[in-house]
């Protein structure tokens, strides 16, 4: 009796597998048919044409840019900017050095004035204190 139950269970398992395969095949056929319908639709064709037009437009613009010499113009511009930047840096260094020299001279002048005042103060003796009454 146990054998009969096992034999009955196996055909059911196989039939479930067969049904699953059959359903998978039907689903695959459905997807293929739907994909073919979409490809055949006017919307899909128009989208493909628009894509091609956009691709052609971009290619044309890239060609125009290459022919216009934009790469060389940008390179030239970059070189000029580099030269100007170097000139400005050199001017900034010179100006900085001049300012530092002026500040140094000013500091020396101030130091000399203080030294001069100290010598004058040393040369003159302060008056004696007044007697107290």
For the entire predicted model, the pTM comes to 0.37
For 35-45, write each residue's pLDDT tens digit.
Answer: 998 888 888 88
For 68-112, write each residue's pLDDT tens digit.
Answer: 888 888 899 999 999 999 999 999 999 999 999 999 999 998 988
Radius of gyration of the chain (CA): 49
Place of tokens 């998978």: 24
* Structure confidence at residue 125 as a pLDDT band (50, 70, 90): low
Note whether 42 and 48 are within 8 A (CB). no
DSSP string, the chain: -HHHHHHHHHHHHHHHHHHHHHHHHHHHHHHHHHHHHHHHSHHHHHHHHHHHHHHHHHHHHHHHHHHHTHHHHHHHHHHHHHHHHHHHHHHHHHHHHHHHHHHHHHHHHHHHHHHHHHHHHHHSPPPPPPPP-
> What length is written for the chain?
133
Find the mean pLDDT for residues 9-22: 76
């Amino acid at each position: 009796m146990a054998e009969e139950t096992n034999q009955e269970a196996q055909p059911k398992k196989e039939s479930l597998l067969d049904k699953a395969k059959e359903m998978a095949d039907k689903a695959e056929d459905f997807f293929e048919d739907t994909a073919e319908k979409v490809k055949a639709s006017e919307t899909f064709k128009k989208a493909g044409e628009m894509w091609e037009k956009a691709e052609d437009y971009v290619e044309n613009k890239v060609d125009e840019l290459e022919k216009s010499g934009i790469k060389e113009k940008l390179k030239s511009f970059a070189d000029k900017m580099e030269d100007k930047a170097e000139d400005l840096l050199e001017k900034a260094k010179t100006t900085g050095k001049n300012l530092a020299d002026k500040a140094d001279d000013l500091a020396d002048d101030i130091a000399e004035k203080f030294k001069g005042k100290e010598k004058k103060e040393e040369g003159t003796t302060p008056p004696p204190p007044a007697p107290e009454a």
